[in-house]
Structure 1
Amino acid sequence: MSNSKQIMIDILSDAVCPWCVIGYYRIQAAIKDLGIEDQVSIRWHPFELNPSIAEEGENLREHLVAKYGTTINGSIEARKRLTALGQEVGFQFNYFDDMRMFNTRKAHLLLRWAEEKSKQTQLAESFFRAYFSDHKDISSKEVLLQIVASLGLDKSEAEDVLDNPTFQTELVEIERKWLSGGFHGVPVVIINGEEVLQGAQETETYREALTTAS
């Protein structure tokens, strides 16, 4: 495209949300298809699917049964579908029977901090891979700091962020604002503060929205 208009994409997501992964990589595919990589900026915003979950987490299947009434067969089929969709967009879902759902508050704190370091998207992608591909406990401070360091970010500064109660209070307030705005699930994609796309859309849908924004 010859037009150089800048496009801001705001993404509301959680690191343990598989549909956030699918939606994000479809957005990236749409951006690449249109050749507008240099025009697009992405900001990530916090949404905790399970803000009250214990630090040790819960068995993922048991969690989904309790929260959504998902059956074992339903879980098996959903995992197969997500794995196939992941392959389509170049992402590897490695589900396993004892996989756990984790608390993601620390991850969101670091994502907010990484924005000012211009590493927010790289960190979001790293969290997705750590949880879904590499079987990492992304509620673990040590695991998160290792991921931060792998991106060339300062571990000690990141640790200060995690230990600062003011940042935690601010995060909760930001999440409340999104909830009060009527957003109760993720992913949510907002293009230039105007067009709102909820749920993981098809690549073509994102492509059309980005074409309009361009």
Structure 2
Amino acid sequence: MNTNKMQVEIWSDVMCPFCYIGKRHFEAALEKFADNQQVEITWKSFQLDPTLPEKEELDHEQYLVERKGLPKEQVASMLDHVTQSAKLAGLDYHFEKVITVNSFNAHRVIQMAKTKGLGDAAEERFFKAYFTEGLDIADGATLTRLGKEIGLTEAEVHDALTNEAYTGKVNRDIYEAQQIGVRGVPFFVFNRKYAVSGAQPTEAFTQTLDKAFAEWRTEHPAPLLEITEGPSCTPDGNCS
């Protein structure tokens, strides 16, 4: 964690459709934010359904009907609504392809990726794998291939899936979520003072970024140096 940057922590589950949409809305706000280089993002693990098996038993619609007890018509309407919301965010969801399995293994690999500065890349790749490509995010071979795509080695993915340290990291994030009152994801925490729950519109993230950063900057003022100028070179190659 870089103490010279304002922290934004995001609790998320890669099997959460609104987490991917929320990621896009937040990214749109961050792109327009003038001080975005002074913001550090940390992804945090959360499990919507830790009871899911590692092997597929039901397709996604059946899962929502049988495991969550929702009426079939309501599920069909809900999935259509989410698909359209995703499309507005530039995402292509295919729920008919989704392999509904336990996300814990994916979270362990994300925790490893975070140690290499690849947390955001891992989240992005796993979201796409789950919602667009219909890949099995509990399968070790699939996770290895996806991990290598973002820059991890096969040995690092194996370590993430076998080393209890990464299990502990996932569980700590989940416990921390419980302590701060996270009841659903995505859940964005800005400078440990403000939170945005759910895939809010981009404007909501912009407003919270502005408010949180203004307070953070007051607490962490930029150094003002009295500079004596002399001959120097700039990164664009100009020496004078």
Same fold, judged at TM 0.5 (above): yes
Could you tell me whether the CA contact under 8 Å between 2:99 and 2:135 is conserved in 1?
A: no
Structure-1 residue corresponding to 2:60: 60
Unaligned runs of 5+ in 2: 214-240
- Higher CA-based Rg: 2
Structure-2 residue corresponding to 1:195: 194
TM-score by length of 1: 0.90
**Runs of 4+ displaced beyond 6 Å:** none
Give the superposition deviation at 1:142. Answer: 0.7
Could you tell me whether the CA contact under 8 Å between 2:9 and 2:41 is conserved in 1?
A: yes
TM-score by length of 2: 0.81
Amino acid of the structure 2 residue aligned with 1:206: F
Give the superposition deviation at 1:143. Answer: 0.6
Structure-2 residue corresponding to 1:143: 142
Give the superposition deviation at 1:149. Answer: 0.4
1:149–1:6 Cα change, 3 Å:
same
Find the aligned partners of 1:176 and 1:45 in 2 and give their Cα distance.
11
Could you tell me whether the CA contact under 8 Å between 2:12 and 2:187 is conserved in 1?
A: yes
Structure-1 residue corresponding to 2:156: 157
Find the aligned partners of 2:168 and 2:149 in 1 and give their Cα distance.
27
**CA offsets, 1:41-66, max 9 Å, x none?**
21111111111211113322222124
Structure-2 residue corresponding to 1:94: 94
Structure-1 residue corresponding to 2:223: none
Give the superposition deviation at 1:109. Answer: 0.8
Find the aligned partners of 2:135 and 2:35 in 1 and give their Cα distance.
33
Find the aligned partners of 2:116 and 2:125 in 1 and give their Cα distance.
15
Give the superposition deviation at 1:151. Answer: 1.3
Could you tell me whether the CA contact under 8 Å between 2:61 and 2:76 is conserved in 1?
A: no
Higher relative contact order (CA 8 A, sep 6+): 1
RMSD: 1.8
Amino acid of the structure 1 residue aligned with 2:116: K
Give the superposition deviation at 1:195. Answer: 0.3
Q: Secondary structure at the match of 1:101?
A: coil
Unaligned runs of 5+ in 1: none
